[in-house]
Chain A
Amino acid sequence: GAVVSQHPSRVICKSGTSVKIECRSLDFQATTMFWYRQFPKQSLMLMATSNEGSKATYEQGVEKDKFLINHASLTLSTLTVTSAHPEDSSFYICSARGGQGQSYNEQFFGPGTRLTVL
């Protein structure tokens, strides 16, 4: 159980375009989802936390107008990188936390999406 999927797994786009990444919890309802960014050979950095039906909470230094997060349902959160630039190229990982029971204190991670902006 506790499977999280991301789509797409890889995306290449031109500078100035927008890219949407989906994160789905497949077998549980995720009251909270998290978006991370991982630079090559570095650790995961939390970008934002989103709760279903409310606005995301962004970490310091993360532009909320550039990284739009929508958590419209208990199984789906989306991250849209708007007007992408080469410096946005990175590995984006989502995680989901359940609402009750054992899943409440754990985050289950998606496989990540590698974004390359040309």
Chain B
Amino acid sequence: AQSVSQHNHHVILSEAASLELGCNYSYGGTVNLFWYVQYPGQHLQLLLKYFSGDPLVKGIKGFEAEFIKSKFSFNLRKPSVQWSDTAEYFCAVKGAAGNKLTFGGGTRVLVKP
């Protein structure tokens, strides 16, 4: 069974600070990896995804993530956060040939102005 672990439940930081959110997964085959963001009161939006190719993936709003296969990790980064990045972030994994998307527990990020 596939599983996803996000290391931090809550992160508080100031504007302009750098952000890195950890995500590790457990799955025995080829995976598709995703990061979603849920702003307060809004629905899930896709930040970025990895299917194959360059393991460093760039997404929207200045976010990027790096797939490290040997570590089963897909950490999300942003060099300089803004107050508007306050949201909950979810890492998710899907077997490349399958349907089921498994989510991590989410990380609540609060950016102080």
Contacts and interface: CB of A to CB of B under 8 A. Distances in A.
- The reply to whether chain A is a binding partner of chain B is yes
Interface of A: 32, 34, 41-46, 49, 93, 95, 97, 105-112
B68 interface: no
Interface of B: 32, 34, 36, 42-46, 49, 51, 90, 94, 99-106, 108
A43 B103 contact: yes
Interface of B is mostly: strand
Nearest to B4: A43
Contacts of A108: 46
Contact of B43 (A32, A97, A105, A109): A109
Closest 3 CB pairs of A and B: A111-B43, A109-B44, A43-B103
B43 A110 contact: yes
Contact of B103 (A44, A105, A111): A44
B17 to A, nearest CB: 23
Contacts of B94: 105
B102 A46 contact: yes
A43 B100 contact: no
A41 B102 CA distance: 17
Given A49-B100, A107-B101, A43 B106 contact: yes
Contacts of A95: 44, 101
Given A34-B101, A49-B99, A49-B100, A112 B43 contact: yes
